[in-house]
Structure 1
Amino acid sequence: MGYFYMFLLLFVSWVLFIPSTHQLQTSQAQVLLQLRKHLEYPSPLEIWENYNGDLCSVISTAHMSISCQDNSVTELKIMGDKLVKVAEFRGYPIPNQTLSLGFSIDSFITTLTRLTSLRVLTLVSLGIWGPLPDKIHRLSSLEVLDLSSNFMFGSIPSGISRLVKLQTLTLDGNYFNETVPDWWNSLSNLTALSLKSNQLKGQFPSSICRMTTVTDIAMSHNQLSGKLPDMSGLTSLHVLDLRENRLDSRLPVMPKGLVTALLSKNSFSGEIPQQFGELGQLQHLDLSFNNLSGTPPSALFSLTNLSYLHLASNMLSGSLPNHLNCGSKLGFVDISNNKLVGGLPPCLDSDSDKTVVKFGGNCLSVDDQHQHQESYCKEACTRKQSMGREIGFLIAIICGVVLTVVLAVVGALIFCRRYRKTVKFEQYTRPKAVQDNSPAGVSSEVLANARLISQVKLGTQGSPVYRSFSLEELKEATSNFHSSSFLGEGSRGKLYKGRLENGTYVAIRSLAFLKKYSIQNLKIRLDFLSKLHHPHLVGLLGYCIEGGGQDNSNASKVFLVYEYVPYGNYRTHLSENCPEKVLNWSDRLSVLIGVAKAVHFLHTGVIPGSFNNQLRTNNILLDEHRIAKLSDYGMTIIMEENERLEAKGDGSKSCQTTKVKDDVYNFGFILLESLVGPIVSGKGEAFLLKEMASFGSQDGRKRIVDPAVLTTCSQESLSIVVSITNKCISPEPSDRPSFEDVLWNLQYAAQVQASADTEQKSDSTS
């Protein structure tokens, strides 16, 4: 009998266990379905409609993934399509693409907190709006929280400080507009903190400086002000990004392990600390567009790992020592628009291709054409030393008011002359965004009245001044187009490398015309191209036109002068012939995203749009930071016959759509080469027809995908790019995605890859 009762007890326990386990699964599924309802049934969650009671078994997609453990949801990642697009009305942002007025962020978070085992939560571009509730702290197991690209506002809730297991917090691209909280040292496991592109204000929180685990801090594009405290206690910090704020203190002591410091476009003052010259791990330093004074520390230039040094547009003075040593990895130096005197040290004044140096707008004894008079700098320095900062600021305001009145009285003509005189020493300008609803087209009249329709943040380098060059200047820059300056030849003519009188390296393309062009018409087209400023486009610096007749009415030969991009084309960085240059998967995604942003801008950022943009891997160039820049864009505007261009001036919608889809199709081949390596010229489409099916299986991918990709990618990230590639190269133009869709998928793939890299790093550390 004893055995019978024991058996009965075990049987009852087993029976009771079955419904409790099933109930747990049902409860989790109900929470997920409720979340889908809160989010108003976004398209990435359509797959949930066919679930069989256990959403943990749902196959992950490019835009949604669920991971479970012990019948509980541990990871939830949803990437929506409600991109943050902000219009402006009288200077105030007006968000669109949010969830409806019926959405309640409080109810949404309440439902979300029922997933008590969540360790990873990613909710990006879902249109979530409202103040983030403090009850977020109930998700006590969270290790990764990413709520970027939504419309949350107000303050960052203190409840986040109770998420003691949190390792990564990303709140980029929202509208948080209160003071940055000062409880960050409560998060003892936090390694990455990113609050970029909000409206946060107040001082930089001192509690961050007591965090010994944090490796990445990004708070750029906010409204932080006041003092930046001593950062030396951040012993693990590698990346510090505080660009475009209002910080106005002296530069503090930095941690010795710092790799990247981006502090541009603030109001930092005083001298650059000598301690910066002791940062042996530093690779990238940007202090441009501040109020820094004194002479830069000599040791800064000789740091062994430093590759990028941007000190432009400050008030640096004195002279650099002739014996200055430059580090072996230093590839870019910008000291322009300061008050430096004397000569350039030999390591900055060589003709070596290794280092790009910009030094215009100083009082140096070289290149007088692009320098101020030395007396100007001495007078400015003396004046600065004799006045306090407050008095100088007051005088600047008074001078500004007086100057405005004088300009108004004297008139537009003198204003233009003064402006041109100022521009002589300014290397960069910023395009003005103008709404324009004129019809798309490419007639001369339309091109002459082209308008930018989207504001582009150009970054620290901005857009250079555009001008006309003489043929003599170009001959001198290229040693009369000597063979040593020859870079290559394509369907658009020969390409040469040159060095201008001010030391700037340029790329000069000699166009091969089939007929003579009206100079007036051609200048209109070139002027249109000069307006296309974007950080991922090779900048057009100017042109040189050779006339074909005595009346100078026709052009027989044209030279286009572009900025020189030193690190070769993207195609060479995909080839196994140069293994030391081959890019890993994350770097390839960064290049692809940059090019996609550039093409999207060419299509939508200006009226008329620029299409058929020569999208090939060898037309994507990489600068000293491996930032991608598209070259040879807009060539059809110049090269097509005038009569055909004029005939298309009305710009039919169907024709424009076809051109857009052509760019998408060509970009698909760039994606393909990023996956498999360079494709033999002329065999691209045949290769696709034969091999594209191989992407569908793991064995096929191993056979066809570049090993440099396979060994550095996550399968989820790779799948996203394979999917969008397949769509881009669809034979039917109507089946191809928009460039906005392409860009969105690439950004999501990069985010997925970054998460995978973080997890791998965490696992290896453990």
Structure 2
Amino acid sequence: MAKARIFLFIFMFLVHPIFSNQLGNSQFQTLVRIKQLLNFPEVETSSWSEVEDEDVCNTEATQILSLACYEGNITQLHITGNYWFPHLSQDFSAASLFSNIAQLPNLKVLSLVSLGLEGPLPPEIGGLVSLEILNVTSNMFHGSIPREMSFIRNLQTLILDHNRFEGEIPNWIGSLPALRVLSVKNNSFSGSFPRAFSSMVNLRALVLTANNLSGEVAELHNLTNLQVLDLEDNNLGPHFPSVPPKLVSLVLRKNRFHSTLSADEVGSWYRLQKLDISSNELVGAFPPSLLSLPSLTYLDIGGNKLSGKLLHNLSCNGGLTFVNLSENRLTGDLPDCLNQFGERVVLYDGNCLSQTPLHPQKPVSFCHSEALAVGISPLRKEKRRPYGAASALAVAVVGTAALVGLTFLFVKRELAKRHHSAGTRLIVDKASPALTLQLLKDARYISETMKMGALGLSPYRTFVVDELKEATDNFNALHLIGAEVYKGWMTDGTAIAIRRVKVKRKHSIQTYTHQLEVNSKLRHSHLVSAIGHCFECHQGDSSVSRILLVSEYVPNGTLRKYISGAEPGQRFGWRQRIAAGIGLARGILFLHTGIVPGLYANRLKITDVLLDHSLRVKIKKFNLPLLAEQGLPKFGSMSGGEEQHDVYDFGVILLEMIVGRAINSPNDINISKDILSVSLTADLIARRSIVDPAVHKECSDESLKTLMELCLICLSNEPHERPSMEGVVWNLQFAAQVEDTWRRDSTSNQSSPCQSHATPAETYE
């Protein structure tokens, strides 16, 4: 009997892998029905055979469909529409679609984006009981959120952006115990701010932008995990909300907040990176401590009634990239730290500041009378509340206790590792155990070391896997921001991106020494820079099984989002597009010439170009051997002509920046090239007619022609006719120069909307 059991076990062990990767017949048929409901084009599903046990899980992802499987079950389903898909039939039923999707019993991630789905969100969605992430952005759903959604008890992320939902946000949403991300921006929700949010202690991001919510914001101070709070463009107020101290981004723009800012509360925002409270009616003294918050990079208080006297010797956080103090009641002198512009954008028009001849100010008497009108003296120092000192002492005590506790845990963890070894073996290259422990103990000082090294980034270093697990909640799917790319947070609140690269061939750590050395040198203002790495190794032979690459986190999405993926009023202006082109070209030039040997044939797309806090472009993808699927290709093995591949790819990106619509295929490129070529010999009106309508009235003809000619020569079918990257940079800088000259000389453009304000991306480098 024992032998029979052993034989059965061995048989099942050997047979199981054969079948576990194949999709069950019922799930395959469910996918077929979903394909039929959405009228999938045959070209997108040509690899699907009608054979019952066909393994769809291994089919390559397309522009509109991708899925993921685990142990023979579909766990992720992503369907994305565009201008030609889908064409829904007249009898299409969203209820039928969700009923079919509910037949996938292990589905954890569902993304249905830009499919034109309309009507109420059907109650059948409650059948997706295993779902953890739901994204139905950019559809036409209306009505209320169905109560049946409360059945999805494991839901962690809910994104309903850019729909037509209306009515009140239901209080039962607080009964979703695992919910961490809720985003419902650009809908028509009305009523009061749900009090249920006060008890949702797991929330990390709450985005209610562009709705019709009104009244006071509920108490949120106890939401200790909340990092992003965006309430822009509602009717909330009048009291400034009580928010948790660990926020990273706080956006309250365009509401009806009327109260004062508490200096005590401002002082507790030590992790805050972005603060936008513009276009409200805030009164009282402007807290100077805002300028010196240790993590702040973006500050906008414009369009309020904040008063007070600024002093030239006020201190500022060196990381500030954007400061808007415009249209308030500030007097005194602009602080010297804000006069040192560099790459920082500082706006301060419409106050009563002295010695600012280039920035219009009001008479000092105006600011005094306005401040007195609301019962506040701009020269009087703010009185601290009686409990302020006690509160500060309590924070200090708690902070010290937390630090001691973290240090104890780190030491305990390291000691435990020395006495016990289980699971994945961890090998840290060039880091002794003592150094690793010291790095962990000194995690609280990372914010200080970030001031060192190039570009203000922390020095490149080796991580241990426990640090990265802690940064990502053990690589929780909630933090996925790309294929095997996770967003994480260091102990000081610094956001990072972690890419897990599985190694297919067995190599020792030493094999990767050269690649990692090159990776550590890829630091440039227009590249997503590396911060460090970590190895995971096979337990038996110490060969590398996975490499974890740690890089800076770039928050503002892709360049396409600001060119063809946004509404006309939200797209980049002409000068911003030129600036983005210059930055992109300089980043490519650094890849070619900034290291020896250079990196060529990077196969860049517009979606590989990200924008940081100040809307500076950063290239996220390079031709790195560490990311190659097969073997270990060599650096510098490309011939000199390989530069022209990157020039061509730059031309495709520039083409999309000019015409303002997505370029996704060779046919799109050829058609647009022909139109550009014809328009160059046509008159001005015809030439402007092919440019993105969002910018065609605000660009000079000379700069437009320069970019068109550059685009066409970059896209030449003959590689030897394409320019060098140095030539690309020169032509873009020339376009920027003639554009600026035209704007200065043209009185008609001085009143153009694009001249009324500046953004970081509009400054040429």
Whether 1:278 aligns to 2:245 is no
Match of 2:582 among 618, 625, 646: 618
User: Given that residues 145 and 168 in structure 1 are in contact (C-alpha distance below 8 angstroms), is that contact kept between their aligned partners in structure 2?
Assistant: yes
| Aligned positions of 1:248-647 closer than 5 A | 248-274=237-263, 275-321=265-311, 324-348=314-338, 350-353=339-342, 355-367=344-356, 370-385=360-375, 572-574=525-527, 587=554, 590-594=557-561, 596-597=563-564, 617-619=581-583
Q: How far off is 1:140 after superposition? A: 0.8
RMSD: 5.2
TM-score (normalised: structure 2): 0.51
Q: Which amino acid aligns with 2:142?
A: F
- Give the conservation status (yes or no) of the 8 Å contact 2:530–2:551: no
The letter of the residue matching 2:38 is L
TM-score between the two structures when normalised by the length of structure 1:
0.51
Distance 1:104 1:354, change over 3 A: closer
Amino acid at match of 2:202: T
Q: Which amino acid aligns with 1:138?
A: G
Contact 2:188 2:212 in 1 (8 A): yes
Shift of 1:343: 2.7
Amino acid at match of 2:178: N
What SS class does the counterpart of residue 370 from structure 2 fall into? helix
C-alpha separation in 2, matches of 1:249 and 1:43: 55
> How far 1:153 moved relative to its partner?
0.8
User: Paired residue for 1:733, among 670, 678, 702?
Assistant: 670
Contact 1:573 1:583 in 2 (8 A): no
- Is this contact kept in 1: 2:179–2:202, CA < 8 A? yes
Q: Which residue in the other structure is 1:204 paired with?
A: 193
What is aligned with 1:78?
A: 79
Report the 3-state secondary structure (helix = DSSP H, G, I; strand = E; otherwise coil) of the residue aligned with 1:193. Answer: strand
Deviates more, 1:156-165 or 1:45-54: 45-54
Match for residue 66 of structure 1?
A: 67
Q: What is the distance in 1 between the residues matched to 2:666 and 2:602? A: 8
Deviation of 1:578 (Å): 12
TM-aligned CA deviation for residue 380 of structure 1: 2.7
In 1, Cα distance between the equivalents of 2:277 and 2:555? 27
Classify 1:736/1:216 alpha carbon distance in 2 versus 1 (closer, same or farther; 3 Å). farther
Q: Secondary structure at the match of 2:168?
A: coil
Q: CA deviation digits over 1:104-158, x for unaligned, max 9?
A: 1122222221222211111111221110122312111111111111111111112
Partner of 1:125: 114
- The residue matched to 2:330 in structure 1 has which SS? strand
Cα distance per residue 1:661-704 (max 9 Å; x no partner): xxxxx9986759969xxxxxxxxxxxx9xx99999964488868
Q: Provide the C-alpha distance between the structure 2 equivalents of 1:578 and 1:211, rounded to a whole number of angstroms.
A: 33
The 8 Å contact of residues 236 and 257 in structure 1, kept in 2 or not, is answered as: yes
Write the letter of the residue equivalent to 1:52: V
Judged with a 3 Å threshold, the aligned counterparts in structure 2 of structure 1 residues 100 and 727 are, in CA distance, closer, same or farther, namely: closer
Distance 1:333 1:22 in 2: 54
Deviation at residue 573 of structure 1 after TM alignment: 2.0
Secondary structure, counterpart of 1:50 in structure 2: coil
User: Does structure 2 retain, via aligned residues, the 8 Å contact 1:260–1:283?
Assistant: yes
Q: Which AA in structure 1 matches 2:65?
A: M
Find the counterpart in structure 2 of residue 50 from structure 1: 49
1:32 matched to which residue of 2?
Answer: 31
Do 1:162 and 1:186's aligned partners in 2 also have CA atoms closer than 8 Å?
A: no
Find the partner of 2:169 among 180, 183, 196. Answer: 180
Q: Please tell me whether the aligned partners of residues 44 and 64 of structure 1 are also in contact (alpha carbons under 8 angstroms).
A: no
Task: Give the Cα–Cα distance (whole angstroms) in 2 for the partners of residues 621 and 188 of structure 1.
Answer: 47
1:171 and 2:160 equivalent?
A: yes
Once the two structures are superposed, residues 200-246 of structure 1 have per-residue CA deviations (whole angstroms, 9 ceiling, x without a partner) of 11222121221121111111121111111221111011111111112
Question: Are 2:560 and 2:606, in contact at CA under 8 Å, matched by a contact in 1?
Answer: no
Deviations 1:300-339 (A, max 9, x none): 2221111111100111123235653222323322111111
Provide the C-alpha distance between the structure 2 equivalents of 1:172 and 1:731, rounded to a whole number of angstroms: 29
Counterpart for residue 125 of structure 2: 136
Instruction: Name the aligned partner's letter for residue 29 of structure 2.
Output: Q
- Aligned equivalents of 2:369, 2:569: Cα separation in 1: 45
Q: 1:375 to 1:699 in 2, by over 3 A?
A: same
In structure 1, the gaps of 5 or more residues are: 85-96, 387-569, 627-665, 676-687, 707-720, 743-766
Percent sequence identity over matched residues?
Answer: 30
CA distance in 1 between partners of 2:350 and 2:216 (Å): 29
Length, aligned pairs only: 457
Provide the C-alpha distance between the structure 1 equivalents of 2:570 and 2:190, rounded to a whole number of angstroms. 35
Match of 1:223? 212
Determine the C-alpha separation between the residues in 1 that align with 2:41 and 2:637. Answer: 32
Distance 1:291 1:595, change over 3 A: closer
**C-alpha contact 1:336 1:362 (8 A) present in aligned 2:** yes
Distance in 2, matches of 1:592 and 1:328, equals 26
Is residue 233–residue 255 contact of structure 1 (8 Å, CA) maintained in 2? yes
Q: Quickly say closer, same or farther: Cα 1:737–1:183, change in 2 above 3 A.
A: farther
Amino acid at match of 1:215: R
- Once residues 308 and 579 of structure 2 are traced to their aligned partners in structure 1, the CA distance between those partners, rounded to angstroms, is 46
**Which is worse superposed, 59-68 or 280-289?**
59-68
Instruction: Report the equivalent of 1:114.
Output: 103
**Which whole-Å CA distance do the structure 2 matches of 1:577 and 1:26 have between them?**
44
**Given the alignment of the two structures, is residue 157 of structure 1 paired with residue 159 of structure 2, yes or no?**
no
- 1:668, 1:728 within 8 Å by CA — same for their partners in 2? no
Give the equivalent residue in structure 2 for 1:232: 221
Aligned to 1:459: none
Unpaired segments ≥5 residues, structure 2: 377-522, 534-548, 588-600, 611-621, 639-652, 657-661, 677-689, 693-765
Which secondary structure does the structure 2 equivalent of 1:202 belong to? Answer: strand
Range moving further from structure 2, 246-255 or 43-52: 43-52
CA distance in 1: counterparts of 2:126 and 2:160, whole angstroms: 15
Once the two structures are overlaid, the 10-residue window that deviates more, 236-245 or 369-378, is: 369-378
Structure 2: how far apart are the matches of 1:298 and 1:332?
16
CA offset digits 1:68-111 (Å, max 9, x no partner): 34443222111122599xxxxxxxxxxxx873431111222222
| Matched-pair contact (CA < 8 Å) for 2:129–2:151 | yes
The CA deviation at 1:26 is 2.1
- Classify 1:729/1:592 alpha carbon distance in 2 versus 1 (closer, same or farther; 3 Å): farther
Q: Quote the Cα distance in structure 2 between the aligned partners of 1:336 and 1:247.
A: 22
Task: Classify 1:185/1:697 alpha carbon distance in 2 versus 1 (closer, same or farther; 3 Å).
Answer: same
Aligned residues of 2:531 and 2:550 also touching (Cα < 8 A): no
Q: Is the 8 A contact 1:296 1:316 kept in 2?
A: yes
CA distance in 2, matches of 1:385, 1:603: 38
Query: Residue type of the partner of 2:670?
Result: P
Structure 1's 36 and 727: CA in aligned 2 closer, same or farther, altered over 3 A? closer
* CA distance in 1 between partners of 2:568 and 2:555 (Å): 20
**Contact 2:224–2:246 at 8 Å: present in 1 too?**
yes
- Tell me the equivalent position of 2:179: 190
How far off its partner does 1:621 sit?
9.8
The 3 A distance-change label for structure 1 pair 124 and 43 is: farther
Give the structure 2 partner of residue 658 of structure 1. none
CA distance in 1, matches of 2:255, 2:38: 38
Contact 2:563/2:571 (<8 A) preserved: no
CA distance in 2, matches of 1:184, 1:269: 29
How far did 1:601 drift?
6.1
Asked if structure 2 preserves the Cα contact closer than 8 Å seen for 1:269 and 1:292, the reply is yes
**Distance change (3 Å), C-alpha of 1:354 and 1:375:** same
Return the offset for 1:593. Answer: 2.4
